[in-house]
Amino acid sequence: GQQLNQSPQSMFIQEGEDVSMNCTSSSIFNTWLWYKQEPGEGPVLLIALYKAGELTSNGRLTAQFGITRKDSFLNISASIPSDVGIYFCAGETGANNLFFGTGTRLTVIP
Amino acid sequence: DAGVTQSPTHLIKTRGQQVTLRCSPKSGHDTVSWYQQALGQGPQFIFQYYEEEERQRGNFPDRFSGHQFPNYSSELNVNALLLGDSALYLCASSRVTGGSYNSPLHFGNGTRLTVT
């Protein structure tokens, strides 16, 4: 079955620093999504990518859909304390049938 | 405009029992998907309901079943509970945008199920 590996597993950064995380898969996906999850809440969609090579921004967040369709990365610029949480990548097979990565836990030190 | 709502928020059950979890989709959404999230892991797809029928299913045993009502709300039922069923159960909704395509998922805050 599909396996999505995210790296790094966790990050501790100073407020104001940029963050980069990525996701690789053993399978091809037609859609990549990035979600953020905070304690006690469900995942919240950050960015959706629909085309290989696509680069999309949402405020301080930028994500890219890899050319091979087997990888994606997410960058966060100028991190702030409210960026704390777990970031998940997800590849979509059937409609809304998502395979989630293992998550990257981000801690921002003020 | 209410988002996805789930009930109850927490539940404790004993091995062998049965449980029913409930979900109301976001206004305007017609498709409901259920995910299981074990501690420290990403969510795993259980199944999806559209037009009151199961449209897709992940790799979960038949002990996991569901239902969708005419008002688009949904239930997840788990029979013969095992200790390993302890997890956060997430409901997510979307709407069909054409053909086999759906809008991105909006997740609820989940039901935390503990099986003792």
Binned at pLDDT 50, 70 and 90, residue B114 comes out as: very high
The predicted pLDDT at position B74 comes to 98
**Average pLDDT along chain B:** 94
Beta bridge pairs of residue A31 = A92
Segment holding A37, helix H or strand E:
strand A31-37
The predicted pLDDT at position A1 comes to 57
Q: How far is B58 from chain A (nearest CA, A)?
A: 8
Nearest CA in chain B to A48: B104
Calculate mean pLDDT across residues A18-29. 94
The predicted pLDDT at position B96 comes to 83
Interface touch B44/A1, C-beta < 8 Å: no
Q: What's the CA gap between B69 and B53, in Å, rounded?
A: 9
The predicted pLDDT at position B28 comes to 93
* CA quadruple A21, A26, A31, A35: dihedral, nearest 10: -40
Q: What's the CA gap between B63 and B80, in Å, rounded?
A: 7
The predicted pLDDT at position B104 comes to 84
Q: What's the CA gap between A86 and A106, in Å, rounded?
A: 6
Q: Per residue in B21-33, pLDDT tens?
A: 999 999 999 999 9
| B106 part of contact set with chain A, CB < 8 Å | yes
The predicted pLDDT at position A3 comes to 76
CB contacts of A102 in chain B (<8 Å) are 41-42
The predicted pLDDT at position B13 comes to 98
| B2 part of contact set with chain A, CB < 8 Å | no
Interface touch B4/A42, C-beta < 8 Å: yes
Calculate mean pLDDT across residues A19-23. 96
Residue A8, pLDDT > 90, answer yes
Binned at pLDDT 50, 70 and 90, residue B85 comes out as: very high
Probe site for chain A from B89, B105, B111 (most A CB atoms < 10 A): B105
Q: How far is A30 from chain B (nearest CA, A)?
A: 12
Q: Per residue in B41-82, pLDDT tens?
A: 999 999 999 999 999 999 999 999 999 999 999 999 999 999
